[in-house]
Amino acid sequence: MGQQEDSKAGPLTRFLVDDHRRLDALLQSAAADPITIDQAAYEQFRAGLLKHIGMEEKILLPALQRLRNGAPFPHAVRLRLDHGALAALLMPTPTPVILATIRTILSAHNRLEEGPDGLYEASDQIASAEADSLIAHLGAAPEVTVAPHSDNPAVLKTLRATLGRAGYHLSDDEAVGETTIGVSNQEVPT
């Protein structure tokens, strides 16, 4: 994170990196006390991250593919797998292990988006004259209706499967509902 904070960053990069920073701050607030999660901060983070993922999945990635004459962004598969893993991690009641797992995934994920040749720089380069209308479209993205947390076995099974598909794994570090969760940093080919 933080590769694109100079003034040379394009408008799409600035807009989306600002949203990353806002979400980072909310996640940090939620986890400020290592034992008791700040629920209010976490719920803001949860709704904000789901909205951010929606902006990338429904607006940015399709626009980029269109501007690339139908060719998907090279890291699109990796980014979508991470989005699925992150959304699944937002389903159960949060625990310190869930928050740590989200932070680990986001750290690498945001580098792929913010870094050189990342999603945002590529978008700025190709969107050029269209950047302003794309930002207006992103800015008008709807708030996401967030479902209540659920720790039922079906949700935890989905979480386990979605993390597995994205190359992350469940560990025995700490109980989450009836199961356990952790994360590996293994690289997954894109």
- Asked if 56 touches Fe ion (CB under 5 A), the answer is yes
Tokens standing for residue 14: 């600035």
Neighbours of 76 (CB within 10 A): 18
- As measured in angstroms, the least distance from the Cβ of 89 to Fe ion is 13
Task: State the DSSP code for 34.
Answer: S
Q: 41-46: long-range contacts at Cβ-Cβ below 8 A with a sequence spacing of 24 or more?
A: 42/94, 42/99, 43/146, 46/90, 46/146
For Fe ion, which is the closer residue by CB, 49 or 156? 49
For Fe ion, which is the closer residue by CB, 108 or 147? 108
- As measured in angstroms, the least distance from the Cβ of 30 to Fe ion is 18
> Using CB under 5 A, which of the segments 108-116, 122-130, 139-147, 149-157 binds Fe ion?
108-116
- As measured in angstroms, the least distance from the Cβ of 77 to Fe ion is 13
> Using CB under 5 A, which of the segments 30-38, 50-58, 143-151, 170-178 binds Fe ion?
50-58
Among residues 142, 181, 154, the alpha carbon closest in space to that of 54 is found at: 142
Tokens standing for residue 107: 């750290």
**Cα separation of 46 and 165, whole Å?**
21
- As measured in angstroms, the least distance from the Cβ of 148 to Fe ion is 24
Among residues 59, 69, 102, the alpha carbon closest in space to that of 83 is found at: 102
- As measured in angstroms, the least distance from the Cβ of 114 to Fe ion is 8
Question: Angle at the Cα of 190 (from 157 to 137), degrees rounded to 5?
Answer: 85
> Using CB under 5 A, which of the segments 42-50, 90-98, 112-120, 155-163 binds Fe ion?
112-120
Exposed, middle or buried: residue 69 (CB in 10 Å: 0-12, 13-18, 19+)? exposed
- Asked if 113 touches Fe ion (CB under 5 A), the answer is yes
For Fe ion, which is the closer residue by CB, 19 or 43? 19
> Using CB under 5 A, which of the segments 39-47, 110-118, 137-145, 151-159 binds Fe ion?
110-118
| Positions in the binding site for Fe ion (CB under 5 A) | 56, 113
